[in-house]
Structure 1
């Protein structure tokens, strides 16, 4: 991730509803959620939700796909990981103890390990 991409991502996340949407989609996992379910969870009208999802999609933080008659949105984990890596890229400066709290919080993630390819 470069500085321009990081600024776009941080700009998109700097609004409360969009931050809540990303956190909801991260929790939903790789399958994501239908737009209607996101709207219900956020208490947002469809036009307002569409505005926020479009903003997040343009920043590369969420992606959409058609699923029958609905649109499903999911978090782009690579982009989120890239943003974290960009922010912490130079944090240690030869002193790994500086980054220990951040690394520990990521290590505590309850994310399932990917299934091995068969």
Structure 2
């Protein structure tokens, strides 16, 4: 991942609402969530959610797919992995014992 791309992604995630939306989509997995479900779960007006989803999409962190009259949003796991990889690249001067453990599951 390039520095500019990482900066854009981190800036998008640097807003509390966008971080909440992204985390919700990560939790939803590859199936994603419909826009109305996201708005209801987070208590967001549709226009507000649309603005934040647009920012996440512009940063390459989410994708959208039309489902009839609804839109399903999904976290882009490849982009997420790329961002984490960029942040941990050359971690601890190559000493793998200090690198963060990569895992999928609830935070402890």
Number of paired residues? 106
- Where 2:30 maps in the other structure, the secondary structure is coil
Calculate the aligned-residue CA RMSD, in Å. Answer: 1.3
| TM-score w.r.t. length of structure 2 | 0.93
Structure 1 CA distance, aligned partners of 2:15 and 2:57? 14
| TM-score w.r.t. length of structure 1 | 0.86
Q: Does 1:43 align with 2:51?
A: no
Structure 1 runs of 4+ aligned residues shifted over 3 Å read: none
Structure 1 unaligned blocks of 5 or more? 111-118
Structure 2 unaligned blocks of 5 or more? none
Structure 2 CA distance, aligned partners of 1:16 and 1:94? 32
Higher helix share: 2
Structure 2 CA distance, aligned partners of 1:36 and 1:96? 42
